[in-house]
Structure 1
Amino acid sequence: MTQETESPVSAQGLASGTRWMVMGRLVTQVSRFVVSILLARLLTPEAFGLVAVAMTTILALEVFKDLGTGAAVIQRPEVDQALLSSVFYFNVLAGVVCAAAMFFGAPLIATAFGTPDATSVVRALSVIMVLSGLTQTHHAVLRRSMRFSGVAAVEMAGALVNGAVSITLALLGAGVWAMVWGNIAGVLAGSVIAWIRSGWKPSAVLRAAPLRSIAGFSLNTAAFNATTFALMNADKILVSRSLGAPALGVYSLAQRTINYPMESVAHVLMTVLFPAFSRIQDDNAALRRGYTRALGAIAFLTLPLMVGAATVARPLVEVVLGEEWTDLIPLLWFMAPAGALAALLSAVNTLYSAKGRADWMFRWGLASGAFTLVGFVVGLRWGLVGLAVAYLAVTLIQTPVGLWIVLRLIDMRLSTLLRSLLPYVAMTAAMAAATSGVVAATAGAGAAPWVQLAVGVLTGAVVYGGLAAWVHPPAVADSLTLIRRGER
């Protein structure tokens, strides 16, 4: 790849990229959701807890393996082969070091979580660090060049292979190792696709100068990622040490559930918009328009999904997961609505990165993470339910504050943004009232859980869909525009 400067991104290009990412995320998240349900039926909460220990460790080490180099490659106006190759070899070396640290430190990691049985699981999954180090730069190249069909292919391949291997081994009685080998197989499949679809190959070049040129941005980004990860994932250590692996399994499944909107909707839009926003980082008017509509799209989809999940939590868990997971019900009451707000708040990082203000992003992450940790410590005094209540309370406070801070970068008032989100909040509130009433009425009449769930979901869909057609907020028009452009 020779040195290059990208041209401004067209609306057609954004629509195409969004369409590919939507399709990829739809397949990926539906696959993960179905696999989670099936594995919850086949495995125990303790198995989920043991894998959660290893996966939390991997996510933590990913920060040190990447050190923000991927985001720096996407954000820079120009890149060349020397920079990309240097970043590649740096990531490979970092991946090997992190894998070794994870393998040999497995006993300490398991002890820190209060789950000695997780040692062998942590060691087995350490190979993922090596695989991801080999493909970190290829992922960045795909995103930088906005080849989102390739990004979608990587995600879909990983999710589908992971699911197929995990379920097959679980049916064969492999227990927790079904999830272990499923995760490894999924990462391997995604890595192969990333190399093929990116079309980029490293040269025999490793220079310090290109790495130094991105050090300021990348290290601030890495500091933000490391700090926020440590502070905002300390809840898993607290739960595991205080309540044990089964409770961690329940809590991790609750988190996985509420993360679906952030990973499915917010992730799609922010993946597409980060490189696009980076190309227009000096045009605040364009950024204001794009950011307002992006948050509208996130709110349009995530608010009804998550608030709706909270209103049908009891029949949903009873029908889909079974009696072994009833402790999940009160967690969804509080954590599902918080998940929708977290999806909105996660979008602030795109503006920070696009504007090159990773230093602001780090300070925000440090303050918000510390506040979250204090809330979790207080909430855990009342068990998992107390932790769920704290999760919602912290998110309610942080969301407007986080948006207010980042909007200063584009000279936008918080009140202006909030007014644009009011239609989605009002429609969601009406839907929640109708759904809650119907579920309560059918439960009082002695209807089976599956009837309560079906009637609740149908009511929510009809009410929200009808209001959306009547109010017709901007996100509806944007969705129709996206579909029309996709048909061309």
Structure 2
Amino acid sequence: MNSVQRSVLFSAVDRYASLFLFLVSTAVLSRLLTPGEFGVFAVVNALIAVIAAAFQEFGGANYLLQKHELSRGTIRTAFTVTCAISLAVALILLVSADLVSRLFAQDGVRRGIEVSALNLLLLPVSGTLIALFRRDMQFGTLAVCNLASNLAVALVSIGLAVLNFSYMAPIWGSVAGSVVLTAMLLSSYRDFRVLRPSLSEYRDVLEFGFYSSGVAVINVFYNLAPQLFLAKILDFTAVGLYSRASNLTQVFDRLVTQVLNPIIMPAIVNRRAAGAELKGVYLDAVQLLSAVQWPFLMFVAIMAKPIVLLWLGQAWLEVVPLVRILCVANLALFAACLTYPVFLAVGRVRDALVSSFISLPPSLLALLGASFFGVEAVAACALLTLPFQAAVAIYYLSPHLALRPGEFGRALLKSGVVTMATAAGAAACAVLIEAGTLNFVVGLGSALVVAAFCWLWGLFVTGHPLLEHLRQAAADLAGMAPRLLPPRPVL
């Protein structure tokens, strides 16, 4: 198993353990907190995420990962710049917390912001060390640190919710997770000299951060804008419903995209440095990702009702139509996780910012207008905005890779057939559930088995390239098995 495969394995262990904790904690919290309480948490979380995305790009992970030669002075400068901005932003948040709470007419937002500001003080340390571990492909260490952090988030959130801390339970849980993550990273890295203040290379850090932070802020804000608009125009119950629908729609990201994200950027940058032709790498990745993402999203869309009943409970059935709409809209984002790393690899971060400024402001205006018509209208708006964003990103990326529209079509054709086969299997089980032939638990389990069989059948019939990767992975696991088993006793 080579270093990239080993990195993917450790990243998968990290993300899947985190996903398991997320699913369990969300299932428990959904039965302890109301949609309105979840809405307050979602708004606070959205505000903090947008702000964190801005300053982290000034010396954050992407800056450290894209540097061909990384000196101690570069690391110290990146940390110092990030730390200074983080401290300033945290102070501004504390001062403006009351004003923001009045804007949303909810005093809980003020309390949430004041507590969440503590996370911003820890992010420069954890962000710098995570980037260094990722650059060195030390994903095993990161998996242990992240698992400890996510366990702390789940335990503290659930414990405080039981003690009637309401929406503050998950907010305090996120702070506890940040403290544990930072402590674990420091104990693993131990070379504290990289965290000494320095401004020796501040011009390079700020130049990269200007463009990179622009891309990050506008994309993060767009993703979280529906929750902010709904909180202002409708109510926090609508925010809670939309937030839970988004969480369910984004399970694929947690299962696959977030497993690959830590590896994609360093791998593509390394391939580019080695003189590899990125067009083939990009099209191969698109073909593989779409063969997993599309069938998964269609399965979730078709089986949304039994999934919501099992995971969130009867009180959250209003999210079912939202989930279905968002799943269909997210089909357009089959190449989203590749776009920024490729722009970075070809040295065109500016184009990433330009494409975002072209596609996202009109999308935000559409979301704002839809907010006046209800939460379902906001979800339906994504059916127009997400394909538009994908088209603009591909338009700006294509010249750098010499991509032609026909090549995209050929790369996606087999994945489309696989998706239709998977959807047909899931739809047959959904009909039996609606008819009352199967209860929702048995029906969901049956749908998983049938859809998986149809998915594999589609891969075989089309001769999809993903099939060979699955065979290779199975062979690697089979080869590892004898080494993992204890030695047989010698008689």
Give the structure-1-normalised TM-score.
0.91
Unaligned runs of 5+ in 1: 1-10
Change (3 A) 1:338 1:275: same
Kept in 2, the 8 Å contact 1:12–1:485? The answer is no
2:271: which partner in 1?
280
With 254-263 and 117-126 compared, the bigger mean Cα shift is at 254-263
With 399-408 and 386-395 compared, the bigger mean Cα shift is at 399-408
Counterpart amino acid of 2:193? P
Separation of aligned partners in 2, 1:354 and 1:157 = 33
Deviation at 1:475, TM superposition (A): 1.9
Counterpart amino acid of 1:47? E
Is 1:357 matched with 2:385? no
For residues 427-446 of structure 1, the aligned pairs below 5 Å read: 427-445=418-436
Change (3 A) 1:216 1:148: same
Of 153, 173, 182 in structure 1, the residue corresponding to residue 164 of structure 2 is: 173
Kept in 2, the 8 Å contact 1:115–1:244? The answer is no
2:52: which partner in 1?
62
Is 1:367 matched with 2:324? no
Is 1:34 matched with 2:18? no
Counterpart amino acid of 1:454? G
For residues 378-457 of structure 1, the aligned pairs below 5 Å read: 378-445=369-436, 447-457=438-448
Of 173, 180, 184 in structure 2, the residue corresponding to residue 182 of structure 1 is: 173
Separation of aligned partners in 2, 1:282 and 1:131 = 33
Change (3 A) 1:27 1:185: same
Separation of aligned partners in 1, 2:473 and 2:281 = 14
Change (3 A) 1:343 1:164: farther
For residues 197-236 of structure 1, the aligned pairs below 5 Å read: 197-203=188-194, 206-236=197-227
1:334: which partner in 2?
325
With 306-315 and 376-385 compared, the bigger mean Cα shift is at 376-385
Separation of aligned partners in 1, 2:408 and 2:187 = 41
With 468-477 and 84-93 compared, the bigger mean Cα shift is at 468-477
Kept in 1, the 8 Å contact 2:59–2:77? The answer is no
With 177-186 and 195-204 compared, the bigger mean Cα shift is at 195-204
Match of 1:154, SS? Answer: helix
Deviation at 1:468, TM superposition (A): 2.5
Change (3 A) 1:384 1:29: same
Deviation at 1:363, TM superposition (A): 0.7
Separation of aligned partners in 2, 1:450 and 1:207 = 58
Kept in 2, the 8 Å contact 1:86–1:210? The answer is yes
For residues 318-333 of structure 1, the aligned pairs below 5 Å read: 318-333=309-324
CA deviation map 1:372-409 (0-9, x unaligned): 21331343343111111111222233324422421322
Kept in 2, the 8 Å contact 1:266–1:347? The answer is no
Deviation at 1:362, TM superposition (A): 0.6
Kept in 1, the 8 Å contact 2:59–2:79? The answer is no
Counterpart amino acid of 1:122? I
Separation of aligned partners in 2, 1:63 and 1:21 = 22
CA deviation map 1:63-107 (0-9, x unaligned): 333234221111011011111112112222222222222222212
Deviation at 1:177, TM superposition (A): 2.7
Kept in 1, the 8 Å contact 2:59–2:81? The answer is no
The count of corresponding residues between Structure 1 and Structure 2 is: 478
Counterpart amino acid of 2:410? R
Deviation at 1:350, TM superposition (A): 1.1
CA deviation map 1:229-268 (0-9, x unaligned): 3344322221111221111011111112222222432232
Change (3 A) 1:108 1:421: same
Match of 1:134, SS? Answer: helix
1:5: which partner in 2?
none
Runs of 4+ deviating beyond 6 Å: none
Kept in 1, the 8 Å contact 2:294–2:331? The answer is yes
Kept in 2, the 8 Å contact 1:423–1:473? The answer is yes
Change (3 A) 1:290 1:432: same
Kept in 1, the 8 Å contact 2:291–2:415? The answer is yes
Match of 1:208, SS? Answer: coil
With 465-474 and 298-307 compared, the bigger mean Cα shift is at 465-474
Separation of aligned partners in 1, 2:312 and 2:321 = 14
CA deviation map 1:141-191 (0-9, x unaligned): 112222222232332222222112222232333322321221111111111
Deviation at 1:472, TM superposition (A): 4.1
Counting aligned pairs with the same residue, the percent is 19
Separation of aligned partners in 2, 1:423 and 1:480 = 18
Change (3 A) 1:241 1:323: same
Deviation at 1:283, TM superposition (A): 6.2
Is 1:102 matched with 2:93? yes
Is 1:131 matched with 2:138? no
Kept in 1, the 8 Å contact 2:79–2:195? The answer is no
Of 479, 482, 488 in structure 1, the residue corresponding to residue 470 of structure 2 is: 479
Separation of aligned partners in 1, 2:195 and 2:160 = 40
Separation of aligned partners in 2, 1:409 and 1:79 = 26
Change (3 A) 1:478 1:458: closer
1:317: which partner in 2?
308
1:8: which partner in 2?
none
Change (3 A) 1:448 1:461: same
Separation of aligned partners in 2, 1:446 and 1:114 = 48
Kept in 1, the 8 Å contact 2:264–2:338? The answer is no
Deviation at 1:44, TM superposition (A): 0.9
Give the structure-2-normalised TM-score.
0.90
1:465: which partner in 2?
456
Unaligned runs of 5+ in 2: 481-491
